[in-house]
Amino acid sequence: MTDSPAAPRPHLIAGNWKMHGTATALAEIEAMAAAAASLPPHVTVAVCPPATLIHRAAQVARGRLVIGAQDVHAEPCGAFTGCVSAEMLQDAGATLVIVGHSERRTDCHETDADVRAKAIAVQAAGMTAIVCIGETAAERDAGTALTVLNSQLDGSLPGSAERLVVAYEPVWAVGSGLTPTPEQITGLHAAIRTNLTARYGDAGERVAILYGGSVKPDNAAALLGADNVSGALVGGASLTAADFLAIARAA
């Protein structure tokens, strides 16, 4: 992805609703879909609602608003009570799936190998996998952030760079109101890019690298404007059309 004044680099602004939202929240999706049409052409917006809303959200989404999922099971079908396969998500209208979010790595004990298997399943179903990585505060303070990120990339990334997005979400920035500086993000994203190009060659240049963690309307321009940032993965501020669109307009 190259910078040029004539053609701003593509940005993906993805909202992760986590465990929020029932049918009444569809009004927000409708408002986002209506406004997405007037966003600059280099900006795509995505909302990943709870699985129960994917199908209905996909029916009201259109244009440059797409619908995704927050997790998936790696297997195509079977005796996995409560789980949902990639084919089921695709059938419901999802076009992308977040895998390896830090909340799932921590709360559900997902390993890098689990995350890789999920990413492969997502790609095989024709959807885009957003693979999340990020260091904890303790790892940051110990100076091991880069080692941790590279280890997560090595363990979690699928074999193909097609339909692949990486989201750098420092665990300490998620839901905390804290963020790295734009300069720190630029440096870490450059290191992630180095890993991607070593792994995938030229195809690694085309993998979008999102930043996530306490992205809000008032800090979005600075974070999204940082070099090497191809968009954002937004939690709390993606729940209302007003905040989410303000972030998308800052891209």
Phi, psi of 203 (to 5 degrees): -60, -25
Residue whose CB is less far from ligand 13P, 157 or 232:
232
**Interface residue with ligand 13P, options 16, 128, 195, 228 (CB under 6 A):** 16
Residues 6+ apart with CB under 8 A from 154: 112, 195
Whether 169 sits among the annotated catalytic residues: the reply is yes
Residue 208 C-beta-side C-alpha neighbours within 13 Å: 24
Residue whose CB is less far from ligand 13P, 149 or 200:
149
178 part of the interface to ligand 13P, by CB under 6 A: no
Residue whose CB is less far from ligand 13P, 125 or 132:
132
Contact 235, 175 (CB under 8 A): yes
Token readout for 103 is 């909340």
Token readout for 6 is 């004539």
Q: Which candidate in 101, 135, 139, 189 is catalytic?
A: 101
Residue whose CB is less far from ligand 13P, 71 or 112:
71
175 part of the interface to ligand 13P, by CB under 6 A: yes
Whether 28 sits among the annotated catalytic residues: the reply is no
Residue whose CB is less far from ligand 13P, 101 or 105:
101
40 part of the interface to ligand 13P, by CB under 6 A: no
Report d(CA 99, CA 132) in Å as an integer. 6
Question: Rounded to the nearest whole angstrom, what is the least distance from the CB of residue 101 to ligand 13P in the complex?
Answer: 6
Residue 168 pairs in a beta bridge with 133, 211
Question: Rounded to the nearest whole angstrom, what is the least distance from the CB of residue 212 to ligand 13P in the complex?
Answer: 4
Q: Which candidate in 103, 135, 139, 169 is catalytic?
A: 169
Say how many C-beta atoms besides its own lie within 10 A of residue 74's C-beta. 20
Q: Which span (55-63, 155-163, 182-190, 206-214) binds ligand 13P, by CB under 6 A?
A: 206-214
Residues within window 207-236 making contact with ligand 13P, judged by CB under 6 A: 212-215, 233-236
* 3-state DSSP assignment of residue 69: strand
For 137-195, the three-class secondary structure string (H helix, E strand, C coil) is HHHHHCCCHHHHHHHHHHHHCCCCCCCEEEEECCHHHCCCCCCCCHHHHHHHHHHHHHH
Contacts to ligand 13P by CB under 6 A: 16, 101, 169, 174-175, 212-215, 233-237
The residues assigned a catalytic role are 101, 169
